[in-house]
Amino acid sequence: MSSRMQINDQLTVGAQPTADEIKSLTTDGFQSVVNFRTAGEEDQPLSPDAEREHVEQAGMTYLHVPVSMESMDPGKVDALRDRLESLPKRVSSIARRASGLGR
Protein backbone atom coordinates (compact mmCIF):
# COMPACT_ATOMS: atom_id res chain seq x y z
CA MET A 1 0.00 0.00 0.00
CA SER A 2 1.39 3.37 -0.94
CA SER A 3 1.75 6.39 1.34
CA ARG A 4 1.91 4.78 4.76
CA MET A 5 3.18 6.69 7.75
CA GLN A 6 3.95 4.67 10.88
CA ILE A 7 2.98 6.64 14.00
CA ASN A 8 4.24 3.97 16.43
CA ASP A 9 4.40 0.16 16.53
CA GLN A 10 0.62 -0.01 17.05
CA LEU A 11 -0.70 2.60 14.59
CA THR A 12 -0.08 3.38 10.94
CA VAL A 13 -1.83 6.02 8.83
CA GLY A 14 -2.24 5.74 5.12
CA ALA A 15 -4.35 6.43 2.09
CA GLN A 16 -7.47 4.34 1.59
CA PRO A 17 -6.52 0.86 0.34
CA THR A 18 -8.03 -0.97 -2.60
CA ALA A 19 -9.71 -4.34 -2.10
CA ASP A 20 -6.46 -6.11 -3.05
CA GLU A 21 -4.42 -3.98 -0.65
CA ILE A 22 -6.81 -4.81 2.21
CA LYS A 23 -5.91 -8.49 1.76
CA SER A 24 -2.23 -7.67 2.27
CA LEU A 25 -2.82 -5.80 5.54
CA THR A 26 -3.16 -9.03 7.52
CA THR A 27 0.13 -10.25 6.06
CA ASP A 28 1.68 -7.02 7.33
CA GLY A 29 0.39 -7.75 10.85
CA PHE A 30 -2.64 -5.45 10.97
CA GLN A 31 -5.65 -6.57 12.99
CA SER A 32 -7.89 -3.50 12.66
CA VAL A 33 -8.74 -0.87 10.07
CA VAL A 34 -10.16 2.56 10.95
CA ASN A 35 -11.59 4.71 8.17
CA PHE A 36 -11.82 8.44 8.92
CA ARG A 37 -13.16 9.39 5.48
CA THR A 38 -16.73 10.57 5.07
CA ALA A 39 -19.00 8.62 2.73
CA GLY A 40 -19.10 10.13 -0.73
CA GLU A 41 -15.69 11.80 -0.65
CA GLU A 42 -14.07 11.90 -4.07
CA ASP A 43 -11.41 9.37 -5.05
CA GLN A 44 -12.57 6.59 -2.74
CA PRO A 45 -11.63 3.17 -4.11
CA LEU A 46 -14.36 1.61 -1.93
CA SER A 47 -17.43 2.87 -0.10
CA PRO A 48 -17.27 2.46 3.71
CA ASP A 49 -19.78 -0.43 3.50
CA ALA A 50 -17.80 -2.26 0.81
CA GLU A 51 -14.58 -1.63 2.70
CA ARG A 52 -16.09 -3.08 5.89
CA GLU A 53 -17.02 -6.21 3.96
CA HIS A 54 -13.48 -6.67 2.62
CA VAL A 55 -11.84 -5.95 5.98
CA GLU A 56 -14.08 -8.36 7.87
CA GLN A 57 -13.62 -11.05 5.19
CA ALA A 58 -9.88 -10.68 5.75
CA GLY A 59 -10.45 -11.39 9.47
CA MET A 60 -9.82 -7.87 10.77
CA THR A 61 -11.92 -5.47 12.84
CA TYR A 62 -13.38 -2.44 11.01
CA LEU A 63 -14.32 0.92 12.45
CA HIS A 64 -15.72 3.78 10.36
CA VAL A 65 -15.50 7.16 12.07
CA PRO A 66 -16.28 9.84 9.47
CA VAL A 67 -14.31 12.97 10.31
CA SER A 68 -14.65 16.42 8.83
CA MET A 69 -13.31 19.68 10.18
CA GLU A 70 -16.87 20.98 10.42
CA SER A 71 -18.01 18.14 12.70
CA MET A 72 -14.94 17.76 14.92
CA ASP A 73 -15.07 18.79 18.58
CA PRO A 74 -13.19 17.81 21.76
CA GLY A 75 -15.86 15.30 22.82
CA LYS A 76 -15.59 13.44 19.51
CA VAL A 77 -11.81 13.37 19.79
CA ASP A 78 -12.02 11.84 23.29
CA ALA A 79 -14.59 9.26 22.15
CA LEU A 80 -12.39 8.33 19.21
CA ARG A 81 -9.36 7.88 21.48
CA ASP A 82 -11.37 5.51 23.68
CA ARG A 83 -12.52 3.47 20.67
CA LEU A 84 -8.99 3.26 19.27
CA GLU A 85 -7.69 1.98 22.60
CA SER A 86 -10.15 -0.93 22.51
CA LEU A 87 -9.28 -2.13 18.99
CA PRO A 88 -7.07 -5.16 18.38
CA LYS A 89 -3.59 -3.85 17.58
CA ARG A 90 -1.86 -3.24 14.97
CA VAL A 91 -4.19 -0.60 13.49
CA SER A 92 -4.18 0.78 9.96
CA SER A 93 -6.04 4.08 9.85
CA ILE A 94 -7.24 5.69 6.65
CA ALA A 95 -7.39 9.31 5.63
CA ARG A 96 -7.79 10.90 2.23
CA ARG A 97 -4.07 11.62 2.17
CA ALA A 98 -1.70 10.45 4.86
CA SER A 99 0.41 13.55 4.23
CA GLY A 100 -2.51 15.74 5.30
CA LEU A 101 -2.61 14.35 8.81
CA GLY A 102 -0.85 16.12 11.58
CA ARG A 103 -1.33 19.53 10.03
Residue 5 phi/psi, 5-degree rounding, is: -130, 115
Check whether 98 has a pLDDT greater than 70.
no
Average pLDDT over residues 31-59: 90
Average pLDDT over residues 31-54: 89
Count of CB atoms within 10 A of residue 94's CB?
22
Query: What residues have CB less than 8 Å from 31, skipping those under 6 apart?
Result: 60, 61, 87, 88, 89, 90, 91
Q: What is the pLDDT of residue 99?
A: 41
Q: Looking at domain 4-100, which of 3.30.70.1430, 3.30.420.10, 3.90.1200.10, 3.90.190.10 is its CATH number?
A: 3.90.190.10
Q: What is the pTM of this model?
A: 0.81
Check whether 100 has a pLDDT greater than 50.
no
Q: What is the pLDDT of residue 30?
A: 94
Our measurement of the distance from residue 12's CA atom to the centroid of its chain's CA atoms, rounded to an integer in Å, reads: 9
In whole angstroms, how far apart are CA 52 and each of 17, 62, 70, 72, 100? 12, 6, 25, 23, 23
Confidence band, pLDDT 50/70/90 cuts, at residue 103: very low
Nearest to 91 by CA among 19, 5, 1, 12: 12
